Structure 1
């Protein structure tokens, strides 16, 4: 947690003001019992009314000043804590944006959401309490002990017994609670995971009548979290009764021994009243400390999880010095050229490589199609170009430069990517298409939609291009989502188009019209298409056939029919003999 709190440097001035105000408030609270003692012992006992009014007025002034300090310090501590939470969330979000798919797989989406929201809120809450208590509570306790001893040293021996007992109780709760708080956050991660899967997959769940199964999964995760939370709260629930028990018995002891000292004339009534007030201040400061010990273990567990995210170094980083121009020979007339040279790639922990010894070239004005069976490595191959993963062996070159020697921003500026699963964002149709290039004009947006065969259905929507798209594109069909994703890539006008099975949800007629329209738009760009359907790739300039991560053939449709057994099997499984002929 201390590591996270190092990020409080921008708030140094308000924190200094908070500490000063808390100090002044504590000094005022410590001074009030002494003033009350003087009023009783001198003003009331001696019946000096003028003295009572004078000291009473001064007490009101001190109490009012303390109240003002308390209000201002509370406001500032809340402002600092909220600002810290805002900055930490921004840091985590910005850092996570740099993660590769490998880091996302390690942590999990549900856990990242919990860490960015719930965990940071836990630390934020503790920070607000610490700012109010880390000076106030120790000062009230130490100052209360000093003032109590000054009132009567022998009576103060009560604290020699009381304080160690309370300290042991607080330590016991802290030691027992920390592991459970860590476990509690993990259970919350798991609950979020189950809930997220349920909400995303609700159509599949209903279609297979698995609602009861999912209810059992959720109930199990919910019960697991509840049981852990109950264990934690049982331990924490012990603390307050123990504190009150010890505090009440200490009051009995103070009143008993104090009464005896008043009888013997060694102590005045006002001094005993002041002593009781100081004892109460000491006890309540210990209660405040115990509250901190209740929250600190939870926040500590959360801080560890936040730091785990912030300390995770992405596997893919930009070169320290951009070597795309510095250490590379000049490559004239290369705009959008893609070259794979003996590329091999394995997923972390995989027994077999996903790709082995892949070599080919794709040039502007050409369409390079990639086809193969399920799990042959088609999408993996495409994902190496924008550096979603880095190659294990070999090189991927864009415009003659190894992609690892380009900054990610520079590389991806050249690429228009359409993912296998169409992803849309909450907003209008125009905003989703303009996501590809924020400076795109309305005419460019409309033209991209027209080429992507999306203009017809967009025009039929209630507000046309200003129609709202629901979260994840839930209010439009799969084919419509794909076409808007393609329009988003087209409006970018990139050097390289990557279509990762982006026509699978389109009917044959729309597929053919779209590919014909794309031909005219991509005359100066390199196009790579991953597809399952032979009809989508048979007109490509070059077809790469993959089998188990290796190239089983490269050539045109007619060339591969003559030379590749794998390609012939794929074609025979999809086309009739008349269509093949």
Structure 2
């Protein structure tokens, strides 16, 4: 928990102030039984009205001070807890953003979401309670025992009868609670994962009428969460009755022995009342320990999960190189040139070779079509270019410099990236298009939309470029989302444009118009496509098979040298003939 709670340091001053106010409340709480004893012994027993009035005024004054201290304490405790939660959540999000793709894939998306939401809330709540009652309860219980011994050691001795049993019991329950609530948090991850999958594929679920199946699947994981939570809480529920039994037995012993001491004149009535008062406070504070232990156990489980993210070392992060670390042994060639030299790649924690000995070169402004069957390594090859992953062996050069020697920000600023799956964000169309270049002016946005063949469609919307896009573009067609994704990349005016099968939903006429518009751009292009008619318009074609280069050259050259490419061409000609 030390790693997580280190984010409290910036707020040590208000936290200290809140802690002092909590101690003020505690001091008054401990003094009150003494004043009550004074009222009884010096006032009621001897019938001294003046003493009753004076000590009564002191008691009321202290109660008001405690009330004010409690209100101010709550304010500062809330400020510290929520500020800590804000910083911790931002730190987790920033760390996740810095993950390499390999590191990111180690954590389920649902698990990362739970860490940023539920887990942060758990530790935030414990911090707030620490400044209110979490520390106060054990302090109050222990100091009440001390005060009872100061008043009358003989009577107070009976309060210690169950102390060793209580301490051992609490230690055992804390360890159990941490184990059980760690399992609960894992179950919550599973619920979030199933929920996320179902909502993302809601159209598919409805199309295949799998509502009942998905409901059953969700019920199973939700039931597992319920059972584990119930088991954890049931174990914790043993704490309160067990503590109350032990403390009430001690309290009965105090009352019985105290009454004997009063009757024999060895103790005053006020002393016995004060000790009983302290005993009741000890019992009351112990009754809160069940709640406190549950909170600590859940916070410990949550902090351990967040620690996994926060302590990811440099090997799992995208690290920017300093200027002094950059190698300058390669002169910068013509901007937009890309060269792969015997590049091989294996995904982390696997032995399967996804790419093997890939070599090719593309000059500034040239357009490369990448073809191949599913699983041939097309998308993986593109992911190496902006350094989402690093080659297992071989080198990739951009502008004559090894991609490993570029600053990440500088390298990726040169690349416009359109992923295989079109992703749009909640917001307006204009906000989505400017996402790739925040300072873009409207004329740039419009030009990119025109090039991507989406401008005329946007103009038909009631609010045009201010039209709101639903979550993940749910209110747009597949072709519209693809064209908006392409426009978003074009706004950047990047030297290198990567299109990962990003025109699959476009009709022949729209796609042809797109390529015509992009002819004006002096941009090096990588285009993953399955369409021969698209590949024919490119300067070069890279045909992959099982992660290896099957053929490389122009359309005419591949027809001469590659049997596999001729088969692809013939199959698509047959499809066109059948459609005709």
**Class of the TM-score when normalised by the shorter of the 2 chains:** over 0.9
**What's the CA shift for 1:26?**
1.2
**What's the CA shift for 1:149?**
1.0
CA RMSD, Structure 1 to Structure 2 (Å): 1.7
8 Å contact 1:322–1:405 — kept in the other structure? no
8 Å contact 1:318–1:406 — kept in the other structure? no
Structure 2 counterpart SS, 1:292: helix
**What's the CA shift for 1:74?**
1.6
Alignment partners' CA distance in 2, 1:135 and 1:239: 18
Alignment partners' CA distance in 2, 1:570 and 1:4: 56
Structure 2 counterpart SS, 1:527: strand
Alignment partners' CA distance in 1, 2:321 and 2:499: 31
**What's the CA shift for 1:438?**
1.2
* Deviations 1:299-341, CA, capped at 9 Å, x for gaps: 1010000000111235353354236865333325x21111111
* Deviations 1:237-275, CA, capped at 9 Å, x for gaps: 111122222333333222211111111111111111111
**What's the CA shift for 1:454?**
0.2
Q: In the alignment, what sits opposite 1:536?
A: 534
Q: In the alignment, what sits opposite 2:78?
A: 78
Q: In the alignment, what sits opposite 2:282?
A: 282
Counterpart check, 1:400 vs 2:400: yes
Deviates more, 1:194-203 or 1:16-25: 16-25
Deviates more, 1:484-493 or 1:307-316: 307-316
Q: In the alignment, what sits opposite 1:447?
A: 447
**What's the CA shift for 1:134?**
5.1
Long gaps (5+) in structure 2 = none
Alignment partners' CA distance in 1, 2:224 and 2:139: 41
**What's the CA shift for 1:3?**
2.0
Alignment partners' CA distance in 1, 2:254 and 2:493: 83
Q: In the alignment, what sits opposite 2:544?
A: 546
8 Å contact 1:316–1:389 — kept in the other structure? no
Long gaps (5+) in structure 1 = none
Structure 1 counterpart SS, 2:356: strand
* Deviations 1:524-562, CA, capped at 9 Å, x for gaps: 221111111111111111111111111111111111101
Counterpart check, 1:214 vs 2:214: yes
Spell out the pairing of 1:264-303 with structure 2 (5 A cutoff). 264-303=264-303
Counterpart check, 1:178 vs 2:181: no
Distance 1:424 1:578, change over 3 A: closer
Structure 2 counterpart SS, 1:336: coil
Spell out the pairing of 1:121-160 with structure 2 (5 A cutoff). 121-133=121-133, 135-160=135-160
The alignment's TM-score, normalised by the length of structure 1, stands at 0.96
The alignment's TM-score, normalised by the length of structure 2, stands at 0.96
* Deviations 1:468-510, CA, capped at 9 Å, x for gaps: 1001000000100000001001111011000110111111111
Q: In the alignment, what sits opposite 1:248?
A: 248
Counterpart check, 1:377 vs 2:342: no
**What's the CA shift for 1:21?**
1.2
**What's the CA shift for 1:164?**
2.2
Distance 1:450 1:319, change over 3 A: closer
Alignment partners' CA distance in 1, 2:575 and 2:33: 102
Q: In the alignment, what sits opposite 1:432?
A: 432
8 Å contact 1:545–1:553 — kept in the other structure? yes
Alignment partners' CA distance in 1, 2:420 and 2:139: 62
Q: In the alignment, what sits opposite 1:322?
A: 323
**What's the CA shift for 1:130?**
1.4
8 Å contact 2:134–2:292 — kept in the other structure? no
Q: In the alignment, what sits opposite 1:510?
A: 510
